Amino acid sequence: ASHLGISGNLRNPDELTADLGLLFDDSCKGPGLKIAEKLRRGPADKRGLNLNVGDVIMSIDREEITDKTNISKLLNGRIGETVTLEVTTTPSDPKSRRKVDIQAVNRVVTSGLMYQRWVTNNAEAISKASGG
């Protein structure tokens, strides 16, 4: 639209949605959200958090995650706040859950981390395809 010269009154959203710097496994049907990747240098990639690929987030701030849960709603207005996750490696065992406190960030931060991920992945693919 910008190339066509179309503009208008764009409103800012009432609430901004925070991000945790995690990518989830879309093939996992739950319960919970299975971590597929942590964004390097993101909020989930901090020493001591012990969040790992394959872990399953069962709740966010005591709100159980089901296939009907809108994760964005749970993170609306939470930029800069501490979010408490309940995480497990064994979703069928409620006693295996542990709490992890994570600082939610603005999606602009995550966008930069996603760009760096893209650059790194492309460099690795080129190196592999070219034999170094």
pLDDT reported for residue 101: 96
Q: What's the pLDDT band for 2 if we cut at 50, 70, 90? A: low
- Backbone angles phi and psi of 82, in degrees to 5: -85, 130
Chain CA centroid to CA 105, Å: 10
Say if pTM beats, i.e. exceeds, 0.85.
Answer: no
pLDDT average, residue stretch 105-121: 93
Determine if the peptide bond prior to 31 is cis (ω within 30°): yes
Answer whether residue 6 shows pLDDT above 90.
no
Q: What is the mean pLDDT of the chain?
A: 89
pLDDT reported for residue 132: 84
pLDDT reported for residue 4: 64
- Backbone angles phi and psi of 11, in degrees to 5: -85, 145
Q: Which of 68, 130, 74, 131 is nearest to 104 (CA)?
A: 74
